[in-house]
Chain A
Amino acid sequence: MPLAVELRSITKRFGAIVANERVNLAVERGKVHAIIGENGAGKTTLMNILFGLLQPDEGAILIDGVPTVLPNPAAAIKAGIGMVHQHFKLVQSLTVAENVFLGMEIRKGLFIDHRAQSERTATLSKQFGLEVDPNERVGLLSVGIEQRIEILKVLVRGARTIILDEPTAVLTPQESRELFQTLRGFVSQGMTVLFISHHLEEVMEVSDTVTVLRLGKEVGVRPIAGLSKAELIQMMVGHAISFDRRPRQKAKGAAVVEIRDLWARDDRLLPALRGVSFDIRRGEIVGVAGVAGNGQAELAEALSGLRAPSHGSILLEGRELVGRSARDIRAAGLAHVPGDRLVRGVDRHASIASNILMGRQDALPWSRRGIIDRSYLTRRTEALMRRFDIRAPGPQSLVKSLSGGNIQKVVLAREFSTEARFLLIDQPTRGVDIGATEAIHAEIMRQRGEGRAILLISVQLDELIALADRILVMFAGRIVGDLDAAGVTEEELGLLMAGVVPERQRDVAGIA
């Protein structure tokens, strides 16, 4: 039987950068084939070539054993390949069925046959276990359902091979589980799934075979059966790394941060934080888990003075922070690693040294009588670049020329070199590869050891479990769980994140 998809010796260059170098990929029909690798390993480039979005400089594409040229996505769709992108492309004001059939509408005379489209959508969703209401408007639906619609779009176009680019990044663990069931359903119906991820557990759970890419090269193809997580990491990174829970002593210090009944609104003026209260002790890492959009972003903004709370109090060592400006709050002892480093973390167009200086340009010893001490700045920046392993030619290198992981390290280097007692760390390793993630985790643990109070907001549950002492789970603007991070499972967290309060919790809360 011919392979569903075969890529032979694919090379793709962007200027001087080689994104894919003689990569081979052989995907058997009826299998879930994972492609893993760190950021910049060339996974997405390879898939974009297979979907006709990019043209390879060298190499051949074979579909069902036939050499094929894919000049554009339309040709790929015709060849039976479908792609579910990381960022959904749905039209909010249209219904599910309208979105599914967009661009290939069923028509009766001049008009679109809405009924036939709804019926076809319903049939397909039943056949593949992708439950949706065809007549619902997309704007009202959750991310998990949006993804189902994206998959339906691919199916209705007759795809037999489906590419999913980081499909679980936006899902809760439960939604991911459902997605995996759907994918297993696909392969049992003779379809082929290509699954891009850098999440190892998922790859091990759902796929049959895995191809590992590193720095644009293919470093191995293995059946999942009999492969361990440590082996996979070693293949991805090139050396062994452990992401187990970090050993620690229990934090017993006094509360540094006290948050009481905090309320805030989101940008649409709807309540996003509803009565949040908790403490953070000296030398304690408090993790915040939750599906994106449940108030974590607003919590970070409220704590850092970027969003005015509508009610409540935030005490940092007994001093009220509510009502103060972001600058005052930083002066009072907050260091903030923002969730989106390119928006609030750095000025991309400035040098590393300028970014390190930002926020303390008026303070000794960085400047004297309004004049910046250049030589001190250069020395400090060089020292920080060494300590945080920022890989760049020198302090004057522009931040925009760095990789995501190195940009994040610049932010950490600035924020962790202050005297702040309270560290607010939002998504420290978003889009950062495994090697850099390990270094960032080690640095966070070091900050903990220095007795700082740390609030760690992350969408990666394994990160929270590895680092946090306690994990708070946010749902719909409230804290619905406060768990000891030692011994907690991702399943427990996932249920809370989905708003399901388990029996045990309810008893504790005293709701008789």
Chain B
Amino acid sequence: MEVLGRFFNVFLIAATLRTTAPILLVGLGGSFTTKAGIFNIGLEGQMLVGAFFAVVGTIFSGSPWIGVLCGVSAATALALAFALLVVTFEANEIVVGLALNILASGVTISLLKGIFGTRGSIFGHGLVGLPIVHLPYAREFGWFGQVVSGFTPLVYVAFLLVPVLNTFYRRTRLGLHLRVVGEKPEAAEALGISIVKIRYIASLLCGVLAGLAGAHLSLGYTTMFTENMSSGRGFMAVAILIFSNGDPLKILLGCLLFGFSDALSLRLQTSGVSSYLVLSLPYLVALAVLFALSYQARPRLIRETAATMARAVTFQSKTAADDLAASKG
């Protein structure tokens, strides 16, 4: 019990929220494109570019907020390129997404070398992270206060965006049109809703959130930039998006699951288990869940076969009864 207690405690919950935030931000960004009917695997690259330029902006301006702005702008620019190719020129979204991801990885590595003359990672150089927010009165709420206070601002932004997006899709005109463009483009077209315009808006909004996710990674989650530091989070977000169909609440659930296993793996690293094994934990968990979700289709088949057979039996006994009644009548 004591051993378990060491792993499962309030700090694990706090750590989960911390590790969830970056993937949640990029996942919610992808929600826009998913809802608008674009399969966007360019999230990874947008996040990486966001992370890099957030660091560059901070180092040159001295303010992490200007850094965030730079990161968001860079990611949005990449999103614009994506939209231009996919929406306007109707290029294949997978090819474009992959190409931009590779481009993002290459460009950040080259610029790292070009600007700072180093490879691998960059820290110091007057790089400051985002300030930590201590919620007022948090102490008065006991362990809960402990859990929810003391994060960098973008963590709060990430979690607050979930209900905001939920309302956006349900209650606002733009949200509704986004859904329609994704679900039935010909309906949108017939009613004078511009598919191109809506898809551009969705792509750019996605870029903004992916940029925030990147900035959070390099200025909030850590205070450094490392080559390919998004480390597959954008792809995990794509997987979560496929299974959540872009619904904000389901994205939150998926991200929490990933965040929890990420936090747990960080915790286990200190316990002497092989770190390679431990680091693969979040991905294994994600795989297991995806497998479980697709496995659901099988019991359904069995259930339905049973239902059909039950009906067949009752149908036959009923017709037999009818025949009997007819022969007597």
Question: Are A112's CB and B322's CB within 8 A?
Answer: no
Choose one: A91, A110, A263; the contact of B184 (CB below 8 Å): A91
B163 on the interface (CB 8 Å rule)? no
Give the docked Cα–Cα distance between A52 and B303 (Å).
Answer: 51
Question: Are B184's CB and A270's CB within 8 A?
Answer: no
Residues of B contacting A111 in the complex (Cβ-Cβ under 8 angstroms): 167, 171-172
Question: Are B184's CB and A89's CB within 8 A?
Answer: yes
Question: Are A105's CB and B305's CB within 8 A?
Answer: no
A509 on the interface (CB 8 Å rule)? yes
A226 on the interface (CB 8 Å rule)? no
B137-190 residues at the A interface, CB under 8 angstroms:
167, 171-173, 176-177, 179-180, 183-184, 186-188, 190
B91 on the interface (CB 8 Å rule)? no
Question: Are A102's CB and B304's CB within 8 A?
Answer: no
Question: Are A89's CB and B322's CB within 8 A?
Answer: no
Choose one: A85, A94, A274; the contact of B190 (CB below 8 Å): A85
Question: Are B308's CB and A107's CB within 8 A?
Answer: no
- Given A269-B304, A310-B308, does the pair A91, B322 have CB atoms closer than 8 Å? no
Give the docked Cα–Cα distance between A511 and B319 (Å).
Answer: 10
Residues of B contacting A271 in the complex (Cβ-Cβ under 8 angstroms): 304, 307-308, 311
A73 on the interface (CB 8 Å rule)? yes
Residues of A contacting B190 in the complex (Cβ-Cβ under 8 angstroms): 73, 85, 89
Which of B184, B307, B316, B329 is packed against the most chain A CB atoms within 10 Å?
Answer: B184
Question: Are B326's CB and A510's CB within 8 A?
Answer: yes
Give the docked Cα–Cα distance between A265 and B306 (Å).
Answer: 13
B315 on the interface (CB 8 Å rule)? yes
Closest chain B residue to A89, Cβ basis:
B187
Give the docked Cα–Cα distance between A261 and B311 (Å).
Answer: 12
Residues of B contacting A102 in the complex (Cβ-Cβ under 8 angstroms): 176, 180, 187-188, 191, 193
- Interface of chain B, main secondary structure: helix
Residues of A contacting B323 in the complex (Cβ-Cβ under 8 angstroms): 510
Question: Are B183's CB and A91's CB within 8 A?
Answer: yes
Give the docked Cα–Cα distance between A330 and B312 (Å).
Answer: 29
- Residue-wise, chain A 267-289 has the 8 Å CB interface mask toward B (1 for contact) of 00111001100000000000000
- In whole Å, how far is A346's beta carbon from the nearest beta carbon of chain B? 26
- Given A89-B186, A90-B184, does the pair A73, B192 have CB atoms closer than 8 Å? yes
Give the docked Cα–Cα distance between A215 and B304 (Å).
Answer: 51
- Given A89-B187, A103-B192, A271-B308, does the pair A98, B176 have CB atoms closer than 8 Å? yes
By size class, the interface of chain A is 35 or more
A418 on the interface (CB 8 Å rule)? no
Question: Are B191's CB and A112's CB within 8 A?
Answer: no
- Residue-wise, chain A 87-126 has the 8 Å CB interface mask toward B (1 for contact) of 0011111100011001111010011101000000000000
Residues of A contacting B172 in the complex (Cβ-Cβ under 8 angstroms): 110-112
Choose one: B171, B177, B188, B308; the contact of A263 (CB below 8 Å): B308
Question: Are B184's CB and A105's CB within 8 A?
Answer: no
- B interface residues, how many (CB within 8 angstroms): 33
Give the docked Cα–Cα distance between A104 and B188 (Å).
Answer: 11
B288 on the interface (CB 8 Å rule)? no
Question: Are B326's CB and A274's CB within 8 A?
Answer: no
B115 on the interface (CB 8 Å rule)? no
Give the docked Cα–Cα distance between A105 and B179 (Å).
Answer: 14
Residues of B contacting A275 in the complex (Cβ-Cβ under 8 angstroms): 312, 315-316
Give the docked Cα–Cα distance between A112 and B167 (Å).
Answer: 11
Residues of B contacting A153 in the complex (Cβ-Cβ under 8 angstroms): 191
Question: Are B325's CB and A511's CB within 8 A?
Answer: yes
B292 on the interface (CB 8 Å rule)? no
Residues of A contacting B329 in the complex (Cβ-Cβ under 8 angstroms): 510, 512
Question: Are B311's CB and A274's CB within 8 A?
Answer: yes
Give the docked Cα–Cα distance between A301 and B304 (Å).
Answer: 20
Residues of A contacting B186 in the complex (Cβ-Cβ under 8 angstroms): 89
- Residue-wise, chain A 133-173 has the 8 Å CB interface mask toward B (1 for contact) of 00000000000000000000100000000000000000000
Give the docked Cα–Cα distance between A141 and B305 (Å).
Answer: 26
A311 on the interface (CB 8 Å rule)? yes
A74 on the interface (CB 8 Å rule)? yes
- Residue-wise, chain B 101-123 has the 8 Å CB interface mask toward A (1 for contact) of 00000000000000000000000
B293 on the interface (CB 8 Å rule)? no
- In whole Å, how far is B205's beta carbon from the nearest beta carbon of chain A? 16
B3 on the interface (CB 8 Å rule)? no
B300 on the interface (CB 8 Å rule)? yes
Give the docked Cα–Cα distance between A74 and B329 (Å).
Answer: 66
- In whole Å, how far is B295's beta carbon from the nearest beta carbon of chain A? 15
B301 on the interface (CB 8 Å rule)? yes
- Residue-wise, chain A 242-274 has the 8 Å CB interface mask toward B (1 for contact) of 000000000000000000010101000111001
Give the docked Cα–Cα distance between A209 and B186 (Å).
Answer: 32
Residues of B contacting A265 in the complex (Cβ-Cβ under 8 angstroms): 304, 308
Give the docked Cα–Cα distance between A102 and B301 (Å).
Answer: 37
- In whole Å, how far is A158's beta carbon from the nearest beta carbon of chain B? 14
Question: Are B304's CB and A270's CB within 8 A?
Answer: yes
Give the docked Cα–Cα distance between A510 and B179 (Å).
Answer: 52
Give the docked Cα–Cα distance between A104 and B193 (Å).
Answer: 10
Closest chain A residue to B191, Cβ basis:
A103
Question: Are A92's CB and B311's CB within 8 A?
Answer: no
Question: Are A274's CB and B315's CB within 8 A?
Answer: yes
- In whole Å, how far is A350's beta carbon from the nearest beta carbon of chain B? 28
Which of B188, B190, B323, B326 is packed against the most chain A CB atoms within 10 Å?
Answer: B190
Residues of A contacting B171 in the complex (Cβ-Cβ under 8 angstroms): 110-112, 114
- Given A103-B193, A263-B308, A269-B301, does the pair A93, B176 have CB atoms closer than 8 Å? no
- Residue-wise, chain B 265-281 has the 8 Å CB interface mask toward A (1 for contact) of 00000000000000000
- In whole Å, how far is B198's beta carbon from the nearest beta carbon of chain A? 12
Give the docked Cα–Cα distance between A114 and B172 (Å).
Answer: 10
Question: Are B173's CB and A74's CB within 8 A?
Answer: no
- In whole Å, how far is A177's beta carbon from the nearest beta carbon of chain B? 27
- Given A93-B179, A107-B173, A112-B176, does the pair A510, B301 have CB atoms closer than 8 Å? no
Give the docked Cα–Cα distance between A207 and B167 (Å).
Answer: 47
Residues of A contacting B180 in the complex (Cβ-Cβ under 8 angstroms): 91, 94, 102
Further contacts, 13 of them, CB under 8 A, given A510-B322, A510-B325: A74-B192, A91-B183, A93-B183, A94-B176, A102-B188, A103-B188, A103-B192, A105-B173, A112-B176, A263-B312, A265-B308, A275-B315, A510-B329
User: Can you list 23 residue pairs at the A/B interface with Cβ under 8 Å?
Assistant: A85-B190, A89-B184, A90-B187, A91-B179, A92-B183, A99-B187, A102-B187, A103-B177, A103-B193, A107-B173, A110-B171, A112-B171, A265-B308, A271-B311, A275-B315, A275-B316, A310-B305, A311-B308, A311-B309, A510-B322, A510-B323, A510-B325, A512-B329
Residues of B within 8 A of A (CB): 167, 171-173, 176-177, 179-180, 183-184, 186-188, 190-193, 300-301, 304-305, 307-309, 311-312, 315-316, 322-323, 325-326, 329
